[in-house]
């Protein structure tokens, strides 16, 4: 390997790491609401429907913003979109921490939803230009853990802040950190020149024309929407679920919820690696198997309301593993497979955006279900969503299998 090639590899590795840490940083100003929610509910005495509407409005704007920002990242570049998004998220979080009314909180969290939507399409664009096409599954699986690492750190960090300084501080401290990171990203990304110029000289993969109208993409989006229903449960409601069902302290509830993304780390890396290593880049086989496993885990979770806390944590770990494996493949690896390197931001924005538009309905609906039927009703809803994702994944597997047989 020549000196130039070695230098290029190091620059790409640095940029991969920077993109990884940048998207993880977004979660500091996102999952802090989930951890602060139990304390906010006790102090402010709003119904769960109000919190569900807040989560749903976030998801609606986040979903639309993903589609819009996928296009912006292609035209303006990831650097500008990410920097502006991080700063806007920090600003809205600071104001949220000082808000006094439900209306103000909903508006500010909705603004934060748009700010957060700048992240995923932009980092997928960056990383897609760095990947070796023969190892997209493995590299995409590794990169897909960025939001899991961000989730884990955010849950632990926010739990520590809330328990020591109160829930309003959970929106101030992250704002400071992501503001600093925004400037760090802007400076470091500006120094990365060689690898980006090399990527521009390489002939880009031709995007699949009309792919957004194919039955595969429709099924991918529908399966992702179904998994987002489950993910919203694990992400938005998990600390409150543990806090209320097991009567733990808020700090321990956040620690229990943090086991979910830790399981997801294993699932994300494993799913990408095994699809490259044993299934010749055929992703749908792995997606189908893992969504089926997720359905069984959620059914066990529903039937184990009165089990010990430690046993529930084990179930949550495997739930995270079975959820985030197919989730990462649908949101990270398949957009690159289907969209090509220069269309990856568009595909990622479309898939992830539609998924979050789906949670616009799910979040307030789950809040209503919990208020009327308790947590058992919520686990039934999440199990049914997983079964739906399994059915759609099976349909995708059948389509892919027929294509392979025709080759």
Kindly report, residue by residue over 244-260, the tens digit of the pLDDT: 777 766 666 777 777 88
CB 172 within 8 A of CB 94: yes
Average pLDDT over residues 147-168: 87
Domain annotation covers residue 13: yes
Domain annotation covers residue 373: yes
Average pLDDT over residues 12-17: 85
Query: In the prediction, which pLDDT does 341 show?
Result: 46
Domain annotation covers residue 323: yes
pLDDT at 148 over 70: yes
Domain count, the chain: 1
CB 388 within 8 A of CB 226: yes
Between the alpha carbon of residue 183 and those of residues 76, 154, 338, the distances in Å are 18, 20, 33
Cα end-to-end span (Å), the chain: 36
DSSP sequence for 266-312:
HHHHHHHHHHHHTSTT-HHHHHHHHHHHHHHHHHHHHHTTTS-HHHH
pLDDT at 184 over 80: yes
Question: How far, in Å, CA of 282 to CA of 293, rounded?
Answer: 18
Query: In the prediction, which pLDDT does 251 show?
Result: 67
pLDDT band for 200, please (50, 70, 90 cuts).
very low
Count other C-beta atoms under 10 Å from residue 21's C-beta.
Answer: 16
Domain annotation covers residue 407: no
Each residue of 246-298: pLDDT tens digit?
776 666 677 777 788 788 888 888 888 887 777 666 788 889 999 999 999 99
Each residue of 326-381: pLDDT tens digit?
988 888 888 877 765 446 777 888 888 888 787 777 767 787 888 888 878 888 88
* Percent of the chain whose predicted confidence (pLDDT) is above 90: 29
Between the alpha carbon of residue 284 and those of residues 187, 326, 330, 336, 397, the distances in Å are 39, 9, 9, 15, 5
CB 129 within 8 A of CB 203: no
Domain annotation covers residue 309: yes
Each residue of 83-113: pLDDT tens digit?
999 999 999 999 999 998 889 999 999 999 9
pTM value is: 0.76
Domain that holds residue 196: 3-402
CATH code for position 316: 1.20.1250.20
CB 161 within 8 A of CB 31: no
Highest mean pLDDT among 7-21, 71-85, 182-196: 71-85
pLDDT at 4 over 60: no
Average pLDDT over the chain reads 82
- Which residue in 229, 225, 237 sits closest to 362, CA to CA? 229
């Amino acid at each position: 390997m020549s000196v130039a090639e070695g230098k290029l590899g190091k620059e790409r590795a640095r940029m991969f790491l920077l993109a990884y840490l940048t998207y993880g940083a977004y979660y500091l100003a996102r999952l802090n609401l989930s951890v602060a929610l139990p304390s906010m509910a006790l102090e402010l005495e709003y119904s769960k429907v109000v919190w569900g509407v807040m989560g749903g409005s976030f998801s609606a704007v986040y979903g639309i913003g993903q589609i819009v920002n996928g296009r912006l990242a292609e035209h303006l570049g990831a650097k500008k979109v990410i920097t502006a998004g991080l700063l806007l998220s920090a600003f809205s979080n600071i104001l949220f921490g000082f808000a006094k009314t439900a209306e103000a909180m909903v508006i500010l969290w909705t603004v934060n939803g748009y700010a957060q939507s700048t992240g995923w399409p932009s980092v997928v664009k960056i990383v897609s230009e760095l990947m070796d096409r023969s190892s997209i599954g493995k590299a995409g699986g590794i990169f897909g853990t960025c939001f899991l690492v961000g989730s884990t750190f955010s849950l632990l960090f926010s739990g520590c802040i809330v328990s020591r300084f109160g829930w309003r501080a959970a929106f101030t401290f992250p704002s400071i950190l992501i503001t600093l990171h925004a400037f760090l990203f802007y400076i470091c990304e500006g120094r990365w020149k060689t690898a980006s110029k090399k990527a521009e000289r390489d002939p880009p993969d031709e995007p699949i024309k009309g792919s957004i109208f194919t039955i595969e993409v429709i099924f991918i989006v529908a399966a992702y929407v179904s998994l987002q229903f489950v993910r919203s449960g694990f992400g938005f409601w998990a600390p409150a679920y543990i806090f209320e069902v097991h009567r733990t302290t808020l700090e321990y509830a956040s620690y229990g919820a943090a086991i979910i993304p830790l399981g997801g780390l294993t699932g994300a890396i494993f799913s990408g690696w095994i699809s490259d290593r044993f299934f010749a880049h055929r992703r749908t086989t792995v997606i189908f198997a893992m969504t089926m496993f997720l359905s069984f885990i959620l059914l066990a979770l529903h039937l184990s309301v009165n089990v010990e806390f430690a046993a529930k944590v084990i179930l949550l770990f495997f739930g995270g593993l079975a959820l985030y494996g197919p989730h990462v493949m649908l949101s990270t690896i398949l957009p690159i497979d289907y969209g090509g390197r220069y269309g990856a931001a568009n595909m990622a924005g479309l898939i992830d955006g539609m998924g979050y538009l789906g949670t616009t309905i799910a979040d307030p609906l789950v809040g209503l279900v919990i208020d009327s039927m308790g947590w058992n009703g919520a686990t039934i809803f999440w199990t049914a969503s997983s079964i739906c994702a399994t059915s759609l994944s099976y349909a995708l597997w059948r389509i892919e299998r027929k294509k392979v047989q025709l080759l």
